[in-house]
Structure 1
Amino acid sequence: MSLAGKVAIVTGSGRGLGLSYAQELSRQGAAVVINDVDADVAADAVASIAAAGGKAVAVVAPVGSTETAKALVAAAVENFGRLDILVTNAGVLRDKSILKMTDEDFDLVINVHLRGTFTCVREAYGYFKENGIAGRIITIGSPTGQRGNFGQTNYAAAKAGIVGMVRTWALEMKRAGVTVNAVIPVAATAMTKTVPYFAKAVEADEAGEVMHDFFRKELGFGTADDVAGLIAFLASEEAGNINGQAIGAGGDRLQLWSHPEAIASEFHDGGWDYTTLQEQFGAVFGSKLQSVGERFPELPAELQPEPAAK
């Protein structure tokens, strides 16, 4: 167990992806601080790790505030003597198109995902630096943050912002030997459960059956456990040379996302004024404009969702 003697915090780990991450870190030898807003859910998560021979404690609190970040680090140190790994997984959804999205919808998602990642990373990094620990920080992004998705202004902003912070933190933390990376999971979750396109995959997952190869191979869509191995790997000593990356995981697929780069550059003597842009932009860049949103291939006939009952 390569993480033996290590201590990890996993926010939002009472259920779903976060629980899978926490359980895998435990299987690899780490003691884990579970975090959830529901005390019963958190207690069940701790019990599942203990039943498998691992060590875990729970902090019941919503992430976002500095107080919660401090409580999480304190719980790791007080219960297990140290902190080595932080996984910032906690999140909420308030999906609405922009004209229907309220200030409260926007602020809540930004606070939990973006501010919660910031406060927890700041607190963990402060502990790492003060104690000379070459820690591992793993944040959780989303394909929505990479490509956009209808009805998810708040979520897209938060997830894109997390990857932007990761690139900055990789520069700031490198000297201390701390690595920070973003994982982009594609898995059956509470969110994908509501999407008809993934219905057959979610049904298979809930029945304990293997998903069809179309999902696992062509789409790179799988179970929470399919992502957990990457989390544990990035937390290990063997991943010490991986820093500032956005890595996708889902089903049988692993992806390395590119950093944004200019795909075309053109120069015009005297600069690009309004008239010149009117005359030349289409010819220069029109064929190179980038697509937005995820594009999925058509489902095979046998994987089409059942028609809704009338």
Structure 2
Amino acid sequence: MSDSPSSSSSSSSPPSTPSFPVIDLAGRVAVVTGSGRGLGLAYARALAAAGASLVVNDVDQGAAEQAAASLTEQGGRAVAEPVAVGTTEAADRLVARAVAEFGRLDILVTNAGVLRDRVLWKMSDDDFDTVVAVHLRGTFTCARAAAVRMREQGDGGRIILVGSPAGQRGNFGQTNYAAAKAGIAAMARTWSMELARAGITVNAVVPVAATAMTDTIPAFAPYIEAMRNGEPLPDFLRQGEGFGTVEDCAALIPFLASDAARDVTGQCIGIGGDRLALWSHPQEIRTSYARGGWTPETIATAWHTSVGAEPQSVGIPAPRLPEA
């Protein structure tokens, strides 16, 4: 076929409008953990807006009930199930509530989380265990309960885990949180393989937004305060840093829950501000070989000119603020 314009191309015609798939979740049922406020509430609202019925979960009973009421007032179907995630009993309660209220479970979003930030030598056992119990064990128990139900139903499902840039790159003072979020990314990859035959996709989202967890970043603080006073976030944050509102991050959830993402699984997907991104999976980037194997001495000799010539960076890059 020729790429040259036809004789009729000179005639005036209105520009074509892009055609977008319809994200319709009518008849689907979702559980969103930690959805009483912040990112979790934004996820629940986005799912409800696409037609899904919701089980709203939060450790704070008042927040969960208020969130469910607000979704109902906006025309959605939602119930509150306040419980602290982490235990098998809590996970079973959430799945059972979805089935009791709406007859099934199609979507799970594991958003619940807490912070106990300390540098390594100051982090207590309780600081570590609390964060791992909520983020990592809570994700595991809820996903297991959801997978059991979805496999019984026999028509697939969507499990959406919430990760973090800290889990992808590490972050100062967040041993517990970074470890848990890194584990969540690994679980998404593993479960995507284990649940593929059942038609259940599993992905991890990596959101970046103005929340209580990011309010403490000094570089962002004045811009977040201005945003809450009605000013838009500047482009260097929305685009350069991929940092925006919780609503900016919420669009990814209905997409992953929909038929449009039926072939998307095992991925870590970042979203924030104006940016949508796909995170790479860890892989070997340089290799070197020694016939018969390596000794400490041969590794020391070869390191800086072979596999260690370009060491990988760590940590979340500092914001690139505009010059004054």
1:281 maps onto 2:266 in alignment: no
1:127 maps onto 2:122 in alignment: no
1:186 maps onto 2:208 in alignment: yes
Q: Partner of 2:74 in structure 1?
A: 52
Q: After TM superposition, where is structure 1 displaced by more than 2 Å over at least 4 residues in a row?
A: none
Q: Partner of 2:321 in structure 1?
A: 299
- Say if 1:188 and 1:205, in contact at 8 Å, map to a contact too: no
Q: Which amino acid aligns with 1:253?
A: R
Q: Partner of 1:166 in structure 2?
A: 188
Deviation at 1:296, TM superposition (A): 2.6
- Say if 1:10 and 1:21, in contact at 8 Å, map to a contact too: yes
Structure 2: tracts of 5 or more residues without a match: 1-22
Between the aligned partners of 1:57 and 1:64, the Cα distance in structure 2 is 20
1:28 maps onto 2:50 in alignment: yes
Deviation at 1:43, TM superposition (A): 1.2
Between the aligned partners of 1:94 and 1:231, the Cα distance in structure 2 is 26
Deviation at 1:301, TM superposition (A): 4.3
Percentage of identical aligned residues: 59
Between the aligned partners of 1:207 and 1:32, the Cα distance in structure 2 is 31
Q: Which amino acid aligns with 1:61?
A: V
1:69-148 alignment, distance < 5 Å: 69-148=91-170
Q: Which has the larger radius of gyration?
A: 2
Which of residues 14, 25, 42 in structure 1 aligns to 2:36? Answer: 14
Between the aligned partners of 2:289 and 2:227, the Cα distance in structure 1 is 52
Secondary structure in 2 matching 1:196: coil
Q: Return 199-208 or 1-10, whichever deviates more.
A: 199-208
Q: Partner of 2:223 in structure 1?
A: 201
Structure 1: tracts of 5 or more residues without a match: 303-310
1:224 maps onto 2:269 in alignment: no
* TM-score under structure 2 length normalisation: 0.91
Between the aligned partners of 2:99 and 2:227, the Cα distance in structure 1 is 36
Between the aligned partners of 2:109 and 2:304, the Cα distance in structure 1 is 44
Secondary structure in 2 matching 1:193: coil
Secondary structure in 1 matching 2:155: coil
Between the two proteins, the alignment pairs up a number of residues equal to 302
Higher helix share: 1
Between the aligned partners of 1:35 and 1:270, the Cα distance in structure 2 is 57
Deviation at 1:297, TM superposition (A): 4.5
- Say if 1:188 and 1:201, in contact at 8 Å, map to a contact too: no
* TM-score under structure 1 length normalisation: 0.95
